Amino acid sequence: MLARQVWLETKLFLRRKDDLFWTLAFPVFFIVLFGLIYQDMVWEDFGVRAIEYMLPGIIVMALMTSGIMATATGFVEERERGIYRRLSLTPLKRHTILGGQLIQRYMVILAQTLLLLVVGTLAFHIRISGDLFWSWMVMTMGALCFLGIGFLLTGLIKSARAANGITMVVFFMLMFLGGIFFPNEMMPDFMRIFSNTLPSTNLNDALRMVAINGAGINEVWQELVIVGGWLVGSLLLAVKLFHWE
């Protein structure tokens, strides 16, 4: 039954052209744009090419697109249309519905990441120097964190009309304060202190250190602790605030 639900969620996702654009085309647009702008420019302060520095941040942005924006807006819209109220009258269990959505969105996140890596490697010769297994583990932890934030927002958002605005505010705050497009060292001190507590900043740093700089997982434990704290906290609050109607 869970496999059927995952397949159903996948078919529904493929029919939603806006979701296909935001989750797949939007991140690719950014890596192509910045790849063409920076080309082979090297940022001496960080010892890597600019596009290699930015790739982990673009991956984090893609994770937030699926985990926060698509999850929260999609669920709130379906809840408002009464879909889950009708499903509650069927033999389908609620945990199967949620499990199907989580698995399907994680599959989309894997597709996003692989697509960005392929484009970055083939078009701009980005080198992944780190361990692929640990890079995948860091990415997975970040994906679960943003999915948790997405489901937390579904409990806070009351209507589909408000969903786009609220998720956009959260998305852009995490993106622009997360050091995705520029190092957070360029921020004023008071903004940098706040930025260093965000999951996007710490996931961005951990993924860059592991995937691009070849750091070991023991060198990014502090960043992962912060991401893990957001993951646990958002899931606990999501369970408390979550509602089907």
pLDDT of residue 219: 93
Query: From CA 82, how far away is CA 181, in angstroms rounded?
Result: 39
pLDDT of residue 17: 79
Indicate yes or no: pTM above 0.85.
yes
HEC assignment per residue over the chain? CHHHHHHHHHHHHHHCHHHHHHHHHHHHHHHHHHHHHHCCCEECCCCEEHHHHHHHHHHHHHHHHHHHHHHHHHHHHHHHCCHHHHHCCCCCCHHHHHHHHHHHHHHHHHHHHHHHHHHHHHHHCCCCCCCHHHHHHHHHHHHHHHHHHHHHHHHHCCCHHHHHHHHHHHHHHHHHCCCCCCCHHHCCHHHHHHHCCCHHHHHHHHHHHHHHCCCCHHHCHHHHHHHHHHHHHHHHHHHHHCCCC
Tell me which residue range forms the domain holding 147: 2-241
pLDDT of residue 232: 95
pLDDT of residue 107: 92
Residue 42: strand, helix, or coil: strand
Residue type, 34: F
Which residue(s) pair with 48 in the sheet?
43
pLDDT of residue 144: 94
pLDDT in tens, the chain (245 residues): 888 888 888 887 888 777 788 888 888 998 999 889 988 888 877 778 888 888 999 999 999 999 998 888 888 888 888 877 777 777 777 778 888 888 999 999 999 999 999 999 998 888 888 899 999 999 999 999 999 999 999 989 888 888 888 999 999 999 988 888 777 877 888 888 899 999 999 999 999 999 988 888 899 999 999 999 999 999 999 888 877 77
pLDDT of residue 19: 78
Total domains present in the chain: 1
